[in-house]
Structure 1
Amino acid sequence: MDWLERMNNALDYIENNLDDEIDYKEIARAAYCSEFHFSRMFSSISGISLSEYIRRRRLTLAAFEFQKSDIRIIDVAVKYGYVSADSFSRAFQKTHGLKPSDARNNGVQLKAYPRISFQISIKGVVELEYRIENIDYELRIIGKSKPVKTSRAFKTIPTLWNSAKKDGFMQKLTDMSWEKPKCTLEGLLGVCGKEAAITDEEFNYFMGVRYDGESPNNMETIVIPPSAWAVFPNVVDAWKRLYSEWVPTAGYELANLPCIECYYGPKHKPRHELWVPINPK
């Protein structure tokens, strides 16, 4: 089963459960993808978050029901996962620009968001460099985590590092990272998701370093088990192309572990890399 078929299977699951409870774990399972990566993969390829896509599809079907029947607003609200008629009405008006009760009127203008269908398009022949690294021991990383909205990650994360530089936290991490070099993953690390799961709208960005010494009292510790990694130079470019270009054709599955941004010291080439956990198919 190829990548394209698996992703469309996940869309089938969503479509078949729009009027029922949708389990994000089941969506990822339908795609044969880790729960950690599916939401980010979906939003990267489609340009819309998974939760927003589901919301729009449900409100599209709700509008169809009002136009075709005299069903009560509260019944439609419950059917499509809303706890009250008020919360449903607010969401409906935000999407369609009018109240649910007005959707029954002839000649009103509504918005229909069609089902997404994944396809592979050829974007060019710009190479994407990568290498495979196998780390056969636990990565013990210490640092601090901050919540980041997924939609603003590219703006928020540089701000977090700038703040860490100003308050001395970055220098403290730098000093610790060079104490006992052990592998090529040595530098300032941005772990994208402290846990092996990520919500659709927000995740914890963990700023730290690989460190085997005793952890300071004011820092957290995460441990990542032995794993294989696909490593890409240039963090920003790698994020933009990972899910839409590399994953569909690479022959690897994404492991249910967080990705790591690695920022190296002066004169290191490349200056930064994206480490992506993988499993061979």
Structure 2
Amino acid sequence: MNWVERISLVIEYVEQNLDGEISIDKAAIIACCSKFHLHRIFFSYFDITFSEYVRRRRFTLAAADVISTQATIVDIAMKYGYTSPNAFTRSFRKMHGVNPSEVRSANAKIATYSKASFPLEPIEAERMEYKIVEKPSFNIVGKSKRFEFDDFTKNGKKFWKEYVGSDDYKSLCELTNGKPGLVTGSPLLSAYFPDEKNEQDRFLDVLGVEYGFGEKVKEFKAHNVPAATYAEFDCSYRGAMKTNRYIYGKWFSATGYERDGGKPDIVSYFPMPWRHFSEMRLRWWVPVIKTSENA
């Protein structure tokens, strides 16, 4: 199956279980990929996270039930997986701007979020060239934070912007004095480590520098990046999001490669003297494996 077919099956799974349990683990099994990979693919296609899509679809149907049935708000809340009517009301208000009771007592307007469907507009990138590279294991030393995918899309940029303005970040940069790493060739890196074993839907985001094996740094934690085969893409900082959406929303589908399990995505930063920050060059390394079709 191609990725459009896989994601279509995930969407059908969601639609059939909006009044029942919906599991990202089950969705990943249906898509034949990891949770991390499913999140990135889904977000790239629809510009919304998987869990937010589920929430919006549920509350679209819940609002219809409030309007068109005589069921109590408590019963409707239970139908859509909320054991607490108060939690249901808060989430309902977040999407629709009014409480469920107000929808019945007044002619309130409610929001509608339609079922996702194909075809979609093509996902383009600043540059579409890529190459496949083999890289040995190396260490990243730096600051890390665990994010749930929804939280990362909302607050990740703000968190790292604040960190880059801190004294802790200055100390991190002083570890290598701006010298590029031997494996990555870059003075600064981000790594996104999937956390598939965690019951909660999280990944580890690391901002750091490539550092030698066996060298200890008290202030920062070391994270090992295993040897891997990567698909390599280049872009500017300004075009980073478009490039990432292209990789996960179009490139995987077009080439037949699969993401290599729990290995991290790596982003290398290459600052340019006397140039605006948005023009800084970036390089994406996405760990891949060959499928039988392209072996």
In 1: Cα distance, 2:12 partner to 2:213 partner: 46
Q: Are 2:145 and 1:146 aligned?
A: yes
2:37 matched to which residue of 1?
37
Which position in structure 2 is the counterpart of 1:258?
A: 264
Deviations for 1:131-160, whole angstroms, at most 9, x for unmatched residues? 11123x433332221356323444554553
Tell me the distance in 1 between the aligned counterparts of 2:176 and 2:159: 20
Cα distance, 1:65 vs. partner?
Answer: 1.7
Normalised by the length of structure 2, the TM-score is: 0.79
The Cα offsets for residues 13-70 of structure 1, whole Å up to 9 and x where unpaired, read as: 1112211222111112222232112223322331222222111111111122223322
Structure 1 residue 279 corresponds to structure 2 residue 286? no
CA offsets 1:60-99 (integer angstroms, 9 cap, x no match): 1112222332212112212212230011112112222332
Deviation at 1:184, TM superposition (A): 4.2
Asked if the contact 2:34–2:196 (Cα under 8 Å) also holds between the matched residues in 1, the reply is no
Cross-structure match for 2:7: 7
- Judging changes above 3 Å, is the alpha-carbon distance between structure 1 residues 152 and 26 closer, same or farther for their aligned structure 2 residues? same
| Partners of 1:49 and 1:201 within 8 A in 2 | no
Residue 264 (structure 1) shift: 4.1
Could you say if the C-alpha distance between residues 142 and 24 of structure 1 is closer, same or farther in structure 2, counting changes exceeding 3 Å?
same
SS in 2 for 1:212: coil
8 Å contact 1:50–1:200 — kept in the other structure?
A: no
Shift of 1:167: 2.8
CA 116–200 in structure 1, closer or farther in 2 if over 3 Å, else same: farther
Matched, 1:163 2:166: yes
Residue 113 (structure 1) aligned with residue 119 (structure 2): no
- Secondary structure at 1:134's aligned position in 2? strand
Deviations 1:161-202 (A, max 9, x none): 443686332121446865xx2x34553221124745899997
Give the secondary-structure state (helix, strand or coil) at the position aligned to 1:216: coil
Indicate whether 1:220 and 2:221 are aligned: yes
Check the 8 A contact 1:255/1:278 in 2, yes or no: yes
Contact 1:43 1:50 in 2 (8 A): yes
Change (3 A) 1:200 1:110: farther
Amino acid at match of 2:170: D
What is the distance in 2 between the residues matched to 1:70 and 1:101? Answer: 12
Match of 2:19 in 1: 19
Task: Work out the CA distance in 1 between the residues paired with 2:132 and 2:219.
Answer: 34
Counterpart mapping for 1:1-281 below 5 A: 1-104=1-104, 107-122=107-122, 127-135=127-135, 137-146=136-145, 149-154=152-157, 156-163=159-166, 167-174=170-177, 178=181, 181=182, 183-184=183-184, 186-193=186-193, 195=195, 203-210=203-210, 211-234=212-235, 236=240, 237-256=242-261, 257-264=263-270, 271-281=281-291
CA distance in 2, matches of 1:47, 1:265: 28
8 Å Cα contact 1:134/1:228 also seen in 2: yes
Distance in 1 between residues matched to 2:286 and 2:160, nearest whole Å: 18
In 1, Cα distance between the equivalents of 2:43 and 2:171? 34
Deviation readout 1:205-241 (Å, 9 max, x if unpaired): 2122333123223322222333211111125152243
Q: Give the count of matched residue pairs.
A: 275
Contact kept? 1:150, 1:202, Cα under 8 Å: no
Instruction: Tell me the SS of whatever aligns to 1:167.
Output: helix
Q: Give SS of 2:224's match.
A: strand
For structure 2, list consecutive stretches of 5 or more residues without a partner in the other structure: 274-279
Across the aligned residues of Structure 1 and Structure 2, the Cα RMSD in angstroms comes to 3.2
Q: Decide whether aligned partners of structure 1 residues 184 and 145 sit closer, same or farther in structure 2, where only a CA change above 3 A counts.
A: closer
